[in-house]
Amino acid sequence: MSVQLDVPVLAGSSVRLEPLTMEHAADLAEAAEEDRASYGFTLVPRGPGMRGYVAAQLARDGLTPFAQIRVRDGKAVGCTAFWDPRPWPDRPDSLRAIEIGFTWLAASAQGTGINAEAKLLLLAYAFESIGVARVDLKTDARNHRCRRALEQLGIGFEGVLRNWSMSWAPGEEGLLRDSAMFAVVSSDWPAVRRTLMTRLASASAPGPGRSGGGTAGG
């Protein structure tokens, strides 16, 4: 199913996921120019390339991209997407699986609970509104920060597929990478939901507790 899904705005307390448009490009360009230390394995353009990046995301078959809007100031601070929707073989209009990917956040939005809440919103929509049986997430196998973050959110690690995806690492243009594969299946979803809710409560509590720092690049 190489089409975009018709997904509404998904609203949480700290992040709102809006269908990506060119109107988000200015905020995203600013967000991308914050500290870029966490982008070593993730596709995040420099600010001047953001309009081209947004245009490419909107044109990509099978991708339903979102801007991650920080609720407290209304600014777009990153992107995420549903990707690679897969229908049932005998029910082409009904999805059995989908991926969450193409995810990044500005440095100032990392560790604030936004990533965890965005995952909660996307997973809830996938399982409770679309009715999928499985949601995939993947990252460069070398991206241990992202892998730890996914594991802390209760998302199961399934193994490493070698030469599975295009690499976004600097100097590896056109090369393949090994991908660490994660997934939530429908029977996992109640427990994963509880874990995400607990982490969100911790992130919003007074004191030093912070949640959801890593992002999955897809």
| Residue ranges of domains in the chain, CATH in brackets | 10-204 (3.40.630.30)
Percent pLDDT > 90 in the chain is 84
pLDDT at 2 over 70: no
pLDDT at 31 over 50: yes
**Which strands, in side-by-side order, build the sheet including 91-105?**
10-11, 15-19, 63-70, 75-88, 91-105, 134-140, 176-185, 156-166
Bridge partners of 61, per DSSP, are none
pLDDT confidence band for 210 (50 / 70 / 90): very low
CB 124 within 8 A of CB 193: yes
pLDDT at residue 36 in the model:
95
pLDDT at 209 over 60: no
DSSP-H helix ranges across 25-143: 25-32, 50-59, 114-124
Overall pTM > 0.85: yes
Q: Among 88-102, 148-162, 195-209, whose mean pLDDT is lowest?
A: 195-209
